[in-house]
Amino acid sequence: MAFIGMVFAGAFFLFLAAVGFIGLVMLIIGIAVRKKYKIASNVLLVLASIGIIIPIGVVVYLIMPKTQVFETEIGTVKIRPGWISQYNEYLANNDTEKIQSLFDKHPEMIYYYDINRKTLLIYGQEHLNVEIMQIAVDHGAKFDDPYIYDRKIFENSFDSFFSGVDWGENGFPPFGETTDDVINTVRFMIDNGASLKYATKREGIFQNFYEQAESWVMKDGVRSEKDIELLTLIQNNL
């Protein structure tokens, strides 16, 4: 299906290019014969304008940022491209004050997710950033959102936890090493309703977050005091 889509898209853009080329040719001819054949020249110039404007208009329409629509628990929500641009800029700069202000002005932003289906709450979770998660929760975000976790890949927030963090990169701890940031993130998620259990019974796969965490903490070959603290926190709330 993707290949067929690419073929149709390629054919469409070739058609636009052909229309534009024909329009350009008409423009040149129309100018060249204007003195001798004024009426014919005017007709050619009109057709040339149409032939040039249509492809340009289509391309501009396709590349312009558009309002995005999201289906949520409260119905359809529309997010304007300007809000998304600001959101991406503030996240890149880790500017929590501006993120807070943006969500205060446009609370519907809490339902926005990017091409990877990452909301502000998920961004905070994957960056072990409790402050970001708190902003999201304060504006109505919920863990285990069924509109995000459709069980095709991950069942809920904890199911995606260990795969979401860039372990060992960009200042994050190595894979399998429990830190205070890891513990604080997990505690925040538990305190705000994230389920430690997985509803779907899966053969050969972890049935809850405790089993997942128990395997994860041994990936670095060490069972540290922080590992035990993390596992105890999870077990006490399972």
Question: CB of 50 within 8 A of CB of 71?
Answer: no
* 45 shares a domain with 154: no
Q: Is residue 123 part of a domain?
A: yes
Tokens of 213: 């965490």
Task: Show which of 63, 83, 101 is a domain's final residue.
Answer: 63
* 232 shares a domain with 121: yes
Cα diameter, the chain: 93
| Cα 216 from Cα 220, distance rounded (Å) | 8
| Cα 141 from Cα 118, distance rounded (Å) | 12
Q: Is residue 51 part of a domain?
A: yes
Q: Is residue 117 part of a domain?
A: yes
Integer-rounded Cα Rg, in Å, for the chain is 27
Tokens of 190: 């538990």
Q: What is the pLDDT of residue 77?
A: 80
Residues contacting 138, CB < 8 A, separation 6+: none
Environment class of 128 (CB within 10 Å of its CB; exposed 0-12, middle 13-18, buried 19+): buried
**Phi then psi for 14, rounded to 5 degrees?**
-65, -40
* 130 shares a domain with 59: no
Q: First vs last Cα of the chain: how many Å apart?
A: 43
Q: Is residue 101 part of a domain?
A: no
Q: Which of the two residues, 92 and 67, has the higher pLDDT score?
A: 92
pLDDT per position as a tens digit, 30-46: 566 666 666 665 665 56
Tokens of 51: 């032939």
* 156 shares a domain with 227: yes
* 219 shares a domain with 151: yes
pLDDT per position as a tens digit, 191-237: 999 999 887 666 557 888 999 999 999 988 889 999 999 999 999 99
* 142 shares a domain with 57: no
Residue 136 reports pLDDT greater than 70: yes
Q: Is residue 72 part of a domain?
A: no
* 225 shares a domain with 137: yes
Q: What is the pLDDT of residue 13?
A: 57
Question: CB of 200 within 8 A of CB of 155?
Answer: yes
Q: What is the pLDDT of residue 2?
A: 46
| Cα 41 from Cα 20, distance rounded (Å) | 18
118 — pLDDT class (breaks 50, 70, 90): confident
Question: CB of 60 within 8 A of CB of 20?
Answer: no
* 121 shares a domain with 24: no
Q: Is residue 35 part of a domain?
A: yes
If one counts the domains in the chain, the total is 2
* 28 shares a domain with 136: no
Q: What is the pLDDT of residue 209?
A: 92
Domain extent at residue 232: 113-237
* 206 shares a domain with 131: yes
Q: Is residue 90 part of a domain?
A: no
* 201 shares a domain with 138: yes
Q: Is residue 80 part of a domain?
A: no
* 121 shares a domain with 25: no
Could you tell me which of 180, 191, 231 has the C-alpha nearest to residue 209?
231
| Cα 83 from Cα 70, distance rounded (Å) | 14
Instruction: Provide the CB-side half-sphere exposure for 188 (13 A, CA).
Output: 24
Cβ count near 161 (within 10 Å): 22
